[in-house]
Amino acid sequence: IAGITQAPTSQILAAGRRMTLRCTQDMRHNAMYWYRQDLGLGLRLIHYSNTAGTTGKGEVPDGYSVSRANTDDFPLTLASAVPSQTSVYFCASSPQGRGEQFFGPGTRLTVL
């Protein structure tokens, strides 16, 4: 089934640990995104990539890093997790030149 997969589905993490959230799409979309969704704050863009090999910072990039080695994969890394990074994380992708985004099922991350 075409779409976006994210892993893990959920994770509980000790503060200070390193964590990588995985995102893979099979729609050959050029652009990919990482958002966090928090109650009362909505969806906030963390990082994005317009095409393989390029990345950019979104609204809330601090404490996160991304890479885009190929079209399909866009991992998000928390180098040293802090409790304020407790959130639901969504990966999304978008076809070139169009605004519509297609979202994965999300990763629920709890940092203790």
Partner 1 sequence: TQLLEQSPQFLSIQEGENLTVYCNSSSVFSSLQWYRQEPGEGPVLLVTVVTGGEVKKLKRLTFQFGDARKDSSLHITAAQPGDTGLYLCAGAEGAGSYQLTFGKGTKLSVIP
Q: Which residues bind partner 1 (CB under 8 A)?
A: 4, 31, 33, 40-43, 45, 48, 50, 58-59, 90, 92, 94, 97-106
Residue 111: in which H helix or E strand, if any?
strand 107-111
Closest distance between partner 1 and the C-beta of residue 26, in Å? 16
CB of 104 within 8 A of CB of 89?
no
Nearer to partner 1, 14 or 97 (CB): 97
Query: Is the C-alpha dihedral spanning 107, 108, 111, 112 positive or negative?
Result: negative
Nearer to partner 1, 14 or 39 (CB): 39
